[in-house]
């Protein structure tokens, strides 16, 4: 499976000169925990909600301060064509929770650890639901099954 199938798109982006307040408002409006910082090309950084608090608020920066002052850089990215196995390796090595996805020099989405976990849960559900559903259905449809009960709870 490709990361393009799991990522959120489009990524929420802002220029390096965007204020901390503007970045926080973008996070609020879009319901995200990170904004990718772009400057007419590939991502130059990423600002997370944690960056805003620890590198901004905790350090006494004014809300009008530029996002480039708190962004994490260099930003680690995935390619649109990367597979999920590639993404797992990058997550393991980098210990980040959000990875911008690029198509050449353009930011096209963001893949989060939560996106990857949801994929794992879906795969597990698909894996388990087939055999379990087949087993329950086979038992229900088998006329010799002792579990089939008629009205009043009596075996029919």
DSSP summary character for residue 39: S
For residues 108-141, b (16+ Cβ closer than 10 Å) or e, as one string?
bbbbbeebbeebeeeeeeeeeeeeeeeeeeeeee
CA distance 84 to 78: 10
How high is the pLDDT of residue 131? 66
State pLDDT tens for residues 112-138: 998 888 888 777 777 777 666 666 656
**What pLDDT, on the 0 to 100 scale, is given for residue 124?**
76
Residue 64 vs residues 60, 61, 69, 94: alpha-carbon distances, Å: 11, 8, 11, 30
**pLDDT tens track for 14-53:** 999 999 999 999 999 999 999 999 998 899 999 999 999 9
> What confidence score (pLDDT) does residue 126 get?
72
pLDDT of 76 reads: 94
Q: Which tens digit of pLDDT belongs to each residue from 94-105?
A: 989 999 999 999
pLDDT over 60 (residue 149): no
Residues 42-82 have pLDDT tens digits of 999 999 999 999 999 999 999 999 999 999 999 999 999 99
Distance between CA atoms of residues 121 and 111, nearest Å: 16
> So what's the pLDDT on residue 156?
46
User: What domains sit in the chain, N to C, each tagged with a CATH number?
Assistant: 3-113 (3.10.580.10)
Tell me, what's the pLDDT at 19?
97
């Amino acid at each position: 499976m490709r990361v393009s199938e799991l990522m959120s798109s489009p990524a929420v982006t802002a220029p390096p000169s965007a204020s901390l307040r503007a970045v926080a408002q973008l996070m609020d409006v879009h319901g995200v925990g990170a904004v990718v910082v772009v400057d007419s090309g590939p991502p130059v950084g990423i600002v997370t909600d944690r960056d805003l608090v620890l590198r901004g608020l905790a350090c006494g920066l004014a809300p009008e301060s530029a996002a480039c002052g708190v962004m994490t850089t260099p930003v680690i990215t995935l390619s649109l064509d990367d597979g999920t196995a590639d993404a797992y390796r990058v997550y393991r090595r980098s210990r980040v929770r959000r990875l911008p996805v690029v198509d050449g020099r353009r930011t096209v989405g963001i893949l989060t650890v939560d996106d990857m976990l949801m994929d794992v849960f879906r795969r597990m559900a698909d894996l388990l639901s087939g055999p379990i559903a087949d087993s329950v259905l086979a038992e229900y449809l088998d006329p010799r099954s002792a579990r089939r009960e008629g009205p009043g709870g009596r075996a029919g």
